[in-house]
Amino acid sequence: MSEPRRFTLAEARLLMPKVRRLTREAVDAVEQIQDRVAGLETVTPEVMTRAEQDMRGTVEAWAQQIEAMGATAKGLWLVDFDNGAGYFCWQHPEAELSHYHDYEAGFAGRTPIQ
């Protein structure tokens, strides 16, 4: 198992345009699937199963793209950048990477970056 990538705040912020773009594209794709199902007169179990598979595939592909950059997809549209002492933390639709939490606190313990 390889050592996780460590980010300075500047390095993580440089990746944010790509993170936001990939996330926006994935969110849009999931919303299109939801809209397609909502527009049907009859939603069969087969249609729901297929829609759920499509949405899951979209989220998994998004997470893989985030992980390929060295960041971590911690939840739905939630990205963490390991800095060696904790994480710089971003969640869609936040405009900037502006929060931090240590390893133990998790998302609930996020604080603004000073």
Could you report the per-residue pLDDT of 28-85, keeping only the tens digit for each?
A: 999 999 999 999 988 899 999 999 999 999 999 999 999 999 999 999 999 999 999 9
Classify the C-alpha dihedral 3-14-61-104 as positive or negative: positive
Domain boundaries, the chain: 9-112
Q: What are phi and psi of 105, to 5 degrees?
A: -70, -35
Residue 1 has pLDDT above 70, yes or no: no
pTM (2 decimals)?
0.91
